[in-house]
Structures are given as structure tokens and as C-alpha cells.
Amino acid sequence: MKTCECQAVSGEDAIYCASCGRRLAETDRADTAPSQVERVELITANPVPQKRIVVIIASFIVIALVVAIGLTYLLRNVHIEISSNNLVSVQLPLNICTTSVGVSSDTPANLPATVQVDIAKGFSTQLAFYSDNEGVIEVLAPSGWTCTAVIGADGSSSVTVSPAGQSDVSSGALTPGSTAEEIHASQTSACVGCRESLACPLFVNAANDYRHAFQKACPSRRPTSELVTKINGHIVKIEDPPGVNGDADPSGGAYPAMGVMTYFDDLNSDGSWTETCVLSPTDTSVCRAIIGNFNSRYGSR
């Protein structure tokens, strides 16, 4: 018997309800309808693989977290140095030079014993830092050398480093044929005329600024054999061959002089900074490292 939605009873073979005319639901045949056990199996068959997927995903997340925590614990005290162009990060000793000061009220700064620097591996044991006692200029130079420094009343300063016992130590021109070696760095501070007169042989804008300020041309001209390479608009590299007294300070001796110089026409800048390295031709790579460090420190001042 079939029961309609209106609760009227119709025969088993009836298709429509005799009472309301609605179509009666079909009855599955006994030989095709699933048993109660089969129904349970059909209902529970799909959730099993879904549960396995959830368990697998959860396990993967747990493993990933364990690995991440473990790596963090193992590497938290490990200092990984990233080398670039064969550079290594090292602590080099800082030598405080005997310093002459133009203002009696100036007091020495509390400078660190070492300075961290990125440098080529081969130079890490050959070089050290040298500084005036106020830390205005710090330069790289060969280890074991001696140094002197000057800080003027106008804020300008210089540091000169040379081998111990060398007599020919000077700024400007070296004695022709001199085999003196020296690292010399200086800065003009806020003296506008000083930086313009220093830089005008090498920078067009410095020459223009000097002419505008003093109504005359730059007082010096660079030698024709001096090689000047523009690094950017504010810094140039200088190379004076042996025997040429040029803008590298010092220069003119038996060894080539390699240097850098900066110039900014901004009145708020720290002036013009320059450094020169004079070493035996066999130590050209050492000069490049020394000049490169000075450029990275003071090239944007």
C-alpha cells in the first residue's frame, strides 16, 4: 500500500493518489533496495578518506613547526657572514695618533679599541685603523706604522701615517726620487674657500663656485699626466704617476700616488675630504683597499 501526502491510502500499483490526484512516490524494489547494513556502509564510506587527509595535513604542519623551531634554536647563536667580492667582516685595532689641536678646550674622545670593517681576506692581517684623538678622521694603513694628526681651530683636520723611522714625511710634493711611503687624509670642514680652492682643479662646479666667490679663476691646474676618474658627481679618483706632483697629496716621489677627493657645493656639507696612498708599486692592491674604505666612509659627506 502507498500513502499519499494527504494521508490517503492507495494501492501498491497506483501512480496517482485517488483522493487528491498527487503523484505517489515510487517504492524501491526489494531486490534493489539496500539493506540496513548496506545503508550504514554507504553513509560511512566517504568520511574515512576525508579523515585521513585531515590527519596527513595536520601531521605535515606539526613536522614543519618542529623543524622551524629546531633550526631557530640551533642557529640563534650562529653569526653567518655573507661575503661579497671576497670580503670578510673583521675587527681591526684602532691606533690613536698624537694630535695637535688648535683649540685648547678640545678634549679627546673616548674611542673604541677596534673598528669593524668589511675587507678583502688577504688584507685583514696587514692593516689597522689610525685616527686623531677626536675621531674626526679614521684611515686604514699598514699595521705597525706611526701617525700624527692635526685639528685646526676652524675644524679642518688631517691624519698622516708612515713607516716607523721614515724621515721623508710631508704633505704636498715629495722629494724627486723619494721612496717614501705614506697615507695622508684631510678635510676642510666648513671653510668654503678652502674646499673650493682644493677641489677646483678637479671639479667644474668647484671651479665655478671659486670664480663666483673670488672673481678669479681657480689658483691651480692639474698636471696633464694626472689621471682623474669620475666616480660620481661628488667624488673623483686621482692617480699621479711617479715624479708627478699633482692633486694627490703627497705625490711626486718614486712611487705612484693614488687618491680620492670629494666636493659638495651644499653649504651645509662637511667640506671636501681627500685621501692619498703612496706605496711601492707591488702594493697597489693595498692602496685600492685603503682608498676604497675611505671612499665608503667619507664619500657622501
Which residue numbers in the chain have pLDDT < 50? 27-45, 47, 66-84
pLDDT attached to residue 32: 43
pLDDT attached to residue 66: 43
- Confidence (pTM): 0.71
Residue (of 129, 125, 288, 270) closest to 187 by Cα position: 270
pLDDT tens per residue, range 7-64:
667 666 666 666 666 666 654 444 444 444 444 444 444 545 666 666 667 666 756 6
Q: What is the DSSP string of 189-214?
A: TT-HHHHHHHHTTT-HHHHHHHHHHH
H/E stretch holding 50 reads helix 47-75
Residue (of 142, 70, 151) closest to 104 by Cα position: 151
pLDDT tens per residue, range 157-174:
999 999 998 987 777 889
Which value, in Å, is the radius of gyration of the alpha carbons in the chain? 42
pLDDT attached to residue 73: 38
> How far apart, in whole angstroms, are the C-alpha atoms of residue 255 and residue 48?
85
pLDDT attached to residue 24: 61
